[in-house]
């Protein structure tokens, strides 16, 4: 069923590339780099949470804030304008604050070693 509201301004032309055009080596490198970029803060957060030098209250707050940010359900639904994202902002602020106060070079090094193991260059 055609959409009667379609106009030329909304039309996008695309050309499908054959698999011989795509350099799989370059694509793999891009995906590994993207994976490393996403995995690095996650590994640092995990290392911070399990590090014995991180105070128990900071560990618990970090774990709770990260869990809340990853949960599909919110206390205040994101569909509510402005207020919907305020609870996420509070959780994110807690994570950033804890990160800045408790990340150490040792934690970063452990995360970096794990990152290199998981995503070899």
Per the domain annotation, does 64 fall within a domain? yes
Per the domain annotation, does 53 fall within a domain? yes
Q: Around Cβ 111, how many Cβ atoms within 10 Å?
A: 21
Per the domain annotation, does 4 fall within a domain? no
- Name which residue leads in pLDDT, 43 or 109: 109
Using one digit for the tens of pLDDT, what is the confidence trace for 20-41?
Answer: 666 777 877 887 888 888 888 8
Using one digit for the tens of pLDDT, what is the confidence trace for 91-120?
Answer: 777 788 888 888 899 999 999 999 999 888
Per the domain annotation, does 110 fall within a domain? yes
Examine the pLDDT at 51 and tell me if it is beyond 50. yes
Using one digit for the tens of pLDDT, what is the confidence trace for 74-91?
Answer: 666 666 766 676 777 777
Element (DSSP H or E) covering residue 120: none
Q: Concatenate the DSSP letters of all residues of 61-115 into one string.
A: HHHHHHHHHH-S--SS-TTSTTHHHHHHHHHHHHHHHHHHHH--HHHHHHHHHHH
Per the domain annotation, does 51 fall within a domain? yes
Distance CA 45, CA 107 (A): 9
* Overall number of domains in the chain: 1
Per the domain annotation, does 14 fall within a domain? no
Domain ranges, residue 50:
39-118
Per the domain annotation, does 34 fall within a domain? no
Per the domain annotation, does 59 fall within a domain? yes
Q: Is the pTM of this model over 0.85?
A: no
């Amino acid at each position: 069923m055609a959409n009667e509201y379609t106009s030329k301004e909304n039309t996008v032309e695309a050309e499908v590339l054959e698999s011989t055009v795509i350099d799989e080596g370059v694509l793999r490198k891009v995906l590994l780099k993207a994976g490393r970029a996403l995995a690095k803060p996650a590994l640092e957060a995990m290392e911070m949470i399990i590090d014995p030098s991180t105070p128990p209250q900071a560990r618990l707050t970090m774990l709770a804030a990260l869990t809340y940010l990853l949960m599909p359900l919110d206390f205040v639904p994101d569909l509510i304008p402005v207020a919907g994202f305020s609870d996420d902002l509070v959780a994110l602020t807690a994570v950033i604050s804890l990160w800045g106060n408790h990340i150490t070079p040792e934690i970063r090094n452990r995360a970096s070693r794990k990152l290199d193991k998981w995503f070899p260059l």
